[in-house]
């Protein structure tokens, strides 16, 4: 698939078909991730693949009881008023547990981090965090070129503590998100997003 086609077709999927991803495809996707730019030339990234048997334990701190009414309460609390943005959250929030459980491949991408991730001294102190997200985006684009889509979820603190312990993640490594990948369910319906063109975002010489 052409690169632009892979980029344009990438989108977040939270409803998956019950179909495995061949491990050679998973390796191709991770290899694409590893080609991403990195701050310190070391690509200090590791990828923990969680099999179906371990899933429930790994994601046990992710709330599975969120209903549409909970999602509405949460986004009302956040003060969101944009209709499309609200619709996305109303669709996404109740699916957080299920999407991780039912995705064909659940990956915990890890990156080496020195210093305090949550109290960086300057922008450069966030370089390792920025690099892993370049890696993750490469993986999502490579996946879309394979007809595979997915979604990232940012873990809450209680999830991080549990997963670090359970997966033996070394102290100097962090994980920025869960990465759930799979083939989209046939019933899956895209939620409309705001659409922008370059012209909407470009500035010449001045903002």
Ligand X SMILES: Cc1cc2nc3c(=O)[nH]c(=O)nc-3n(C[C@H](O)[C@H](O)[C@H](O)COP(=O)(O)O)c2cc1C
Q: Binding to ligand X by residue 153, rule CB under 6 A?
A: yes
Min dist CB 11 to ligand X, Å, is 3
Q: Binding to ligand X by residue 36, rule CB under 6 A?
A: no
CB 48 within 8 A of CB 167: yes
d(CA 95, CA 136): 21
- Of 22-30, 67-75, 116-124, 146-154, the window that binds ligand X (rule: CB under 6 A) is 146-154
- Of 65-73, 102-110, 148-156, 181-189, the window that binds ligand X (rule: CB under 6 A) is 148-156
Min dist CB 140 to ligand X, Å, is 8
Sequential DSSP letters for 138-186: HHHHHHHHTT-EEEEEPPPHHHHHHHHHHHT--TTEE---EEEEEPBPT
The interface with ligand X within residues 56-95 (CB under 6 A) comprises 88, 92
Phi, psi of 69 (to 5 degrees): -65, -35
Q: Binding to ligand X by residue 151, rule CB under 6 A?
A: yes
Min dist CB 205 to ligand X, Å, is 29
d(CA 152, CA 130): 15
The interface with ligand X within residues 174-203 (CB under 6 A) comprises 193
Count Cα atoms within 13 angstroms, Cβ side, for 34: 11
Residue in 118, 123, 154, 198 binding ligand X, rule: CB under 6 A: 154
d(CA 91, CA 76): 15
Q: Which residues bind ligand X (CB under 6 A)?
A: 11-12, 14, 88, 92, 96, 151-154, 193
């Amino acid at each position: 698939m052409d690169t632009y086609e892979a980029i344009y077709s990438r989108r977040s999927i939270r409803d998956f078909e019950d179909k495995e991803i061949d491990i050679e495809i998973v390796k191709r996707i991770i290899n694409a991730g590893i080609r991403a730019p990195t701050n310190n030339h070391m690509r200090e990234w590791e990828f923990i693949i969680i099999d179906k048997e371990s899933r429930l334990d790994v994601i046990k701190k992710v709330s599975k009881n969120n209903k549409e009414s909970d999602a509405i309460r949460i986004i009302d609390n956040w003060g969101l008023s944009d209709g499309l943005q609200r619709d996305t959250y109303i669709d996404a929030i109740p699916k957080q547990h299920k999407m991780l459980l039912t995705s064909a491949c659940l990956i915990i991408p890890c990156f080496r981090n020195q210093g305090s991730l949550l109290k960086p001294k300057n922008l450069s102190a966030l370089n390792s965090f920025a690099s892993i997200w370049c890696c993750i985006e490469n993986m999502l684009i490579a996946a879309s070129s394979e007809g595979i889509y997915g979604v990232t979820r940012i873990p809450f603190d209680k999830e991080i503590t549990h997963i670090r312990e359970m997966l033996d993640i070394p102290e100097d490594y962090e994980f920025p998100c869960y990465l759930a990948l799979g083939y989209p369910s046939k019933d899956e319906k895209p939620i409309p997003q705001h659409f922008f063109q370059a012209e909407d975002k470009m500035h010449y010489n001045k903002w």
